[in-house]
Chain A
Amino acid sequence: MHSLISTIYFILMSGILFLLPGLVILRSFFNKQSFVPFETLLFSFGISLGLIDFLMIIIGKLGIRIGVYSLSVGIIAALAILAIVAFTLKRLKKSEEKTEEESERLFSFSRRQSALFIILIGLTLLIKVVYLTHAVLPTSTDLGHHMYWSKLIATTGTLPVYAKQEIITGPSGIYQLTLPEPIPDFIIGEHLPFAALHIFTGLDFLSAFPIIFLLLVNVIGLLALFTLAWRFVSDIRSPHLSKNIFTPQNVALAVLFFFGPLYTLASPQAKFVSGGVVGNVLGNLFIPLILLIFYRAIREKRPDFLGLGFFLTFIIAYTHHLSTLILLFVLVASMLIYLFVHYDAIGAVLRSWWKLIFSPGPLLIAGLAIVFFFGVALPTYIETNAVGTAIGTPTKATRTGLSFFQLASSGGEARVALGLAGFVVLLCLHRYMRYAGAILIGWCAILLMMTLDPQWLFIDIPSNRIVTYFSFPVGLLAAFAAVAFFAMLSAPQSKLRIPSIGILIMSLTILVFSLGNGTLDNNQTLLPKSKSLSVLQTFAASRYLAEHNEGKSILKDHNYITADSWMKLFFLRDYAYPLSRGLFGRYADNPDREQCTLLMISVPNTARGEKCYDDLGVSLVAVNPHFDTAQFEKSERFSRIYASDDIHIYERKK
């Protein structure tokens, strides 16, 4: 019964917060015919996320408590103002648009295609849900870190200061905690949607709702790729491809196949959802959305679409830095490719872009964005000058690029093989002359370069993070290649005549290759068993510590305690409270890193271990007894005050 109520709250408030405001804005500023229903759903979701984020930032900056009332009044006031602006603008201009019937015709499904869509989307959700059955528990380290900030926002009703205490060695050799130091890794847009959902539903952060919200973002991102492919196909049709086979519907369904049932668990899909890689999951929704609206703006010469594109780009800048950087590279690469292949008409192309950009709508949005950026709130990565750390010649081995084998393995061998075939098909058919082709080639080429040879672009970012973005263009290209292959064989102009049995064998070969590789990828990602018993013990110990710590400093172990990053949600004192013994490799890789958190658990009875305890005033230690008991048990200085199968808590005597 409780699950049913949670589901109703979650669905209802997700709809009200993350669909309704966007829908009102879309309907106010654009004619209904401007977007097909899938686009309406996608853009409503994207706009709503941004609107809620920016409203919460403004409310917080005004010194008003972020809560149900302030946010409700904010949403209603913002929508009323925007509706009045839209109404005034609409009275001033009349736009020519396609009729609804034309849009419907272009984007309608046959009965068989509809059935396939339902099967594919059903299978996608089924596989993801089966995987998340074990992974839905609040165990992921990253999600624990993110939910700390979201809970802090929801509990205090204020915007967080992204900072944490660090352990340093003072001038006289005394270990001490610093005042909270800024953290550039977190961005406000990653935390506000969860805080808003909690504020309106009251759902516990330790429940399934954060993962289910990420799942929602993930599957809407999948629909964004589906819709993007649909739009792109109408631009890259060729007389060499059968019109009956190379249709937007078929290619979009192929995209759904390559991103849906296949490779649906590995990064950056369900694994990022369960892992709580919030920024990437949101970024992976916004990148195709932004490319879609920019593509339509430039192709249909619609300044209002460009304005929407600017707004969505502004949202991603407050949501995820790496996705913003990738998006900017993709946009620049696509524009350069388009200009390069139209070098004979470069003046005319630039003039048309200039006219589009310097229209009232895009300029107004850009102006408001700049005012907000400099006048209201800078993203943390700009505020802390963190951008400089991502730009430059990479030096660490993890940042100097991956081999092609690693890239293929990460993107899925079958998908990469077909994707590269699609890349060649686009080049052979000269589709790079069109906007859609230029974007696809630019998207794929720049990510290939960023992954294989980042030094060419002065990118200093872990290559295994960049490669997760490669699956998107390569998946789209794989879908194009798969459908184009059969469309080419069936084209009236085709000189190659293959008997039906041959086409059937080839179809089966591609299907088996893709299915085999894609499902193998899924199998490797499935979790073996639930961690619920360990999680419950961690939470029980955390509650005990929260009730009995009396302001004392606590240390816990990250290596062997399940869901340890969620412990800080029970205290909400500081991002680095309790202190944590990090992964062992981090101490070995970085000798300059503070060693106290390692020594206080690993060797608490040595002179250095005791000095760390004395200097830092740590008196409570939570460890996993299967790995860290003997060193505390044999010491007269520690009392064991709490015991469960997977957690022991020790108190250091004064």
Chain B
Amino acid sequence: MAQRSLILIFIVLFVASAFFLFWKNERELDPDQGKSWWTLAFASPEDPENLAFVVENHSTETAFQYGITTDKTPVAKDTFIVKRGETMIITPSLTAKADVRTKITVTLGTEKKEIYR
């Protein structure tokens, strides 16, 4: 067989390999593809009094609950829905105090995450 034909076959095999790897990587980096995770963060970390928080949901469950404690005393709680693949900012009608720890606890099913100032 001529070398040109072998080179052509090599190129075809490489293109197939490249396509598979692009496809695989795209699936792996898709936050919703076969994965379940979520994040919790302050929406405006630069503002020390602002308790607005953001939830990015990549899990199959959508029903979240949150509670706010000031120095371990519960001061607020509520529920909210964030669909898979979406991000939502929750803005409680409270502000953080400088000298006590204000903690936001968000629960999804049995999973719990906390942020505090």
Contact = CB atoms under 8 A, between A and B. Distances in A.
Interface of A: 2-4, 6-7, 10-11, 36-38, 41, 104, 107-109, 111, 114, 117-118, 121-122, 125, 128-129, 132-133, 136-137, 206-209, 211-212, 215-216, 219, 223, 530, 532-533, 535-537, 540-541, 544, 548, 550, 636, 639-645, 649, 651, 653
A114 B1 contact: yes
B37 A641 contact: no
B41 A137 contact: no
B80 interface: no
B37 to A, nearest CB: 6
B22 A3 contact: yes
A208 B1 contact: no
Given A117-B6, A640-B116, A208 B25 contact: yes
A550 B19 CA distance: 39
Given A128-B17, A215-B17, 10 more contacts: A2-B26, A7-B19, A107-B3, A108-B2, A137-B29, A219-B14, A530-B28, A544-B41, A550-B46, A643-B113
Nearest to B42: A641
Nearest to B8: A37
B84 to A, nearest CB: 14
B51 to A, nearest CB: 11
B89 to A, nearest CB: 13
Contacts of A117: 6
B21 A533 contact: no
Contact of A208 (B9, B22, B115): B22
18 contacts: A3-B26, A7-B18, A7-B19, A10-B18, A37-B4, A38-B6, A41-B7, A118-B6, A121-B13, A125-B14, A136-B25, A207-B29, A208-B22, A212-B21, A223-B10, A548-B46, A639-B116, A644-B40
Contact of B21 (A2, A38, A136, A536): A136
Contact of B41 (A128, A533, A536, A641): A641
Contacts of B117: 639, 641
A37 B42 CA distance: 60
Interface in B1-57: 1-7, 9-10, 13-15, 17-26, 28-29, 31, 35, 37-42, 44-46, 48, 56
B19 A3 contact: yes
A125 B9 CA distance: 12
Given A548-B45, A645-B37, A129 B20 contact: yes
A541 B45 CA distance: 13
Contacts of B24: 133, 136, 208
Nearest to B113: A643
A121 B11 CA distance: 11
Contacts of A122: 13
A36 B66 CA distance: 70
A7 B15 contact: yes
B7 A641 contact: no
Contacts of A530: 28
Contacts, number: 146
Contacts of A653: 48
Nearest to A644: B39
A639 B115 CA distance: 8
A536 B29 contact: yes
B61 interface: no
Contacts of B4: 37
A535 B1 CA distance: 45
A533 B6 contact: no
Contact of B56 (A104, A136, A540): A540
B114 interface: yes
B57 to A, nearest CB: 11
A269 to B, nearest CB: 14
B42 to A, nearest CB: 5
Given A38-B3, A639-B116, A642-B40, A212 B29 contact: no
A550 B26 CA distance: 31
B22 A10 contact: yes
B40 A533 contact: no
B13 A537 contact: no
Contacts of A4: 19
A643 B10 CA distance: 47
Candidate in B5, B39, B113 with the most chain A CB atoms within 10 angstroms:
B39
Contact of A11 (B1, B15, B20, B48): B15
Interface string B94-117: 000000010000000000011111
A271 to B, nearest CB: 16
B28 A37 contact: no
Contacts of A107: 3
Given A114-B1, A117-B6, A532-B28, A208 B14 contact: no
Contacts of A108: 1-3
